[in-house]
Structure formats: C-alpha cells, structure tokens
C-alpha cells in the first residue's frame, strides 16, 4: 500500500516529469476534441443543456470521493487515471482532513466539486465561501435558501467558483419532506427553490434527475443542473429514492451527473467510469 505522498509522487512522475511520453497521445486527443466539439455543443443545445456546461462527455461525469480517508481517495484517483477528471469531495473526506486534497487535485489538472452544503447566518456563509474560493474548486454547494445563496454569491465574487443550490436531497421523498415540516412535496419544493436560485445569482442547482426535465421547463437553460442519484442499469438504488441511469439523466437535460459507489466500489473503477461516460456519449448522440 502506497503512502499518500508516494501515490501522488508516482502520479506526478508519470504525468508531469516525463511529458514527452504522452505528448503524441495529447496531440491526438486535442485533434479529436476539436473535431467533436461542435457536435457536442449541438447535442447540448438539442437537449436543452446550459450553454455554460456544453463540455465533453468525460467532464459531465463527476465521481464522488465519498471515502473514509485521503489515502483511499488518492488511490482511487490514481486507479482511474485519465478516464475521468472531475471529482466531488464531500463532508466525510473534508472532516478527515481532505481540504488540502482539493488543491492537490486542481494542481494535477483535475476539477473539484466541493459538496459542503453551506447553510448558516449570512455573514458566516459569505466569509466561508470567500475562503473556499481560494482552494481552486470549480463547484461549491450551498442550501438553496434565499439568504444563504445571496451570501455565498457575495463571498464568491471575483473568483471562478460556481455555486450550486441544493434543492431537495435525493434520499428524500414527499413523505420525508412532510415529516420534516415542509408544507409541500418534492416537486413543488424543488421548483420553488429553482426559481429563487435563478433570481439570487447562483450558477446552478443540485437536484434529482427525476426533476430535471420539469425544472428545465420552468427556468430554461440559464442554470447548470447537477444530478446525484445516478445508478447504471443493474445497480441497486441503495439509500437513494429518486434515481435514473446516466443516459436517462443526460437525456432529461442534466449538465453533470454525480456517481459514487457504482464507481468507487467497482472491481475496476476505471472501467466503470469509462462505461458511464460511454452511456453519456450515447445519450448526447441520440
């Protein structure tokens, strides 16, 4: 078992210290990217995706590093290699000391989604967001309450950090919301928060894939829609209650899909990620 520093040293030795070994491959990928960019953008427009998120299929997959240790997360990133380049770091890993991992991943050319679901008094949210923006992450989640979103937008001002408002957790259904004291069910709550998010200046929303098409009909393509609750065909839903397959979510209008256990617990995480990206490509081409 490699120590954390050994794992990243090995990664850097291959990808940074000996760039010549990969230059031909990079040139081929670059030419392929130029050739397919227009087709991917056209597909994104056809599906109603956000113009800000008409990106490659590989970047549409966000792998959730919901793991107990930094070492486990680093090992997984090494195993996946270039098959994927967008990772979510949530509370479990952050509380295990994972914030420095954000900067390391960004330094290695990866994109990071910090899933912290901020919700506090406005002053605290604004200052916390300003500190988080220094890490170089691409996305940060905040709960989609008006004051919280407004404060986070102020804190992220001048940075490249995109804020995503959390509508209703994918582990919850109508009954769960009612038990928590909400006066309405999932769909009404999600639409209400989506409208508030659009007017508060956040870049996008976190929502179940089952609400994507409905929300697109309400807010159009101005917001980035990111969907957890993704399960490939044949994989159980686990503790998720509102799920779809990768292809179904993209076809519904999701810009990014977040996948955790189907990749992190797979015997071959790299192959699992590649299979999901292939599903995304098919959905975009359909």
Long-range contacts of 40-48 (CB under 8 A, 24+ apart): 40/284, 43/284, 43/285, 44/284, 47/250, 47/251, 47/253, 47/283, 47/284, 48/216, 48/220, 48/221, 48/253
- Please say if 241 is a catalytic residue: no
Instruction: Look up residue 146 and give its DSSP letter.
Output: H
> Which ranges in 19-115 belong to alpha helices (H)?
20-46, 57-60, 70-80, 91-95, 99-107
Chain-centroid distance, C-alpha 221: 17
Residues listed for the chain:
286
Query: Each residue of 244-264: b (16+ CB within 10 Å) or e?
Result: bbbbbbbbbbbbbbbbbbbbb
Distance CA 117, CA 132 (A): 12
Distance CA 107, CA 53 (A): 22
111, 117, 150, 241: the catalytic one is 117
Instruction: Look up residue 209 and give its DSSP letter.
Output: G
Report the run of H or E that residue 135 belongs to, with start and end: none
Residue with tokens 């200052």: 127
Report the run of H or E that residue 151 belongs to, with start and end: helix 146-156
Q: DSSP letters of 9-33?
A: HHHHHHHTS-THHHHHHHHHHHHHH
Q: Which residues are catalytic?
A: 117
């Amino acid at each position: 078992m490699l120590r954390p520093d050994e794992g990243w040293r090995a990664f850097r030795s291959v990808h940074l210290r000996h760039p010549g070994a990969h230059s031909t491959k990079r040139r081929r990928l670059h030419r392929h990217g130029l050739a397919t960019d227009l087709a991917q953008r056209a597909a994104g427009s056809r599906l109603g995706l956000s113009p800000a998120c008409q990106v490659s299929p590989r970047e549409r997959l966000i792998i959730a590093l919901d793991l107990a240790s930094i070492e486990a997360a680093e090992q997984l990133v090494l195993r996946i290699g270039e098959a994927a380049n967008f990772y979510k770091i949530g509370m479990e890993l952050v509380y295990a000391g994972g914030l420095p991992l954000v900067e390391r991943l960004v330094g290695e050319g990866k994109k990071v989604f910090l899933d912290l679901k901020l919700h506090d008094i406005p002053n605290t949210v604004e200052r916390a967001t300003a500190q988080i923006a220094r890490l170089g992450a691409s996305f940060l989640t905040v709960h989609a309450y008006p004051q919280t979103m407004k404060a986070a937008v102020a804190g992220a001002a001048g940075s490249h950090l995109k804020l995503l408002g959390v509508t209703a957790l994918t582990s919850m259904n109508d009954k769960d919301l009612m038990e928590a004291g909400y006066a309405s069910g999932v769909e009404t709550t999600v639409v209400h928060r989506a409208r508030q998010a659009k007017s508060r200046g956040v870049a996008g929303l976190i929502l179940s894939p089952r609400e994507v098409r409905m929300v697109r009909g309400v807010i159009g393509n101005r917001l980035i829609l990111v969907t957890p609750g993704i399960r490939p065909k044949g994989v159980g839903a686990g503790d998720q209650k509102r799920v779809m397959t990768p292809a179904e979510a993209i076809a519904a209008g999701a810009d990014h899909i977040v996948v955790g256990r189907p990749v992190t617990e797979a015997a071959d995480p790299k192959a699992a990620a590649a299979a999901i990206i292939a599903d995304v490509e098919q959905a975009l081409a359909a």
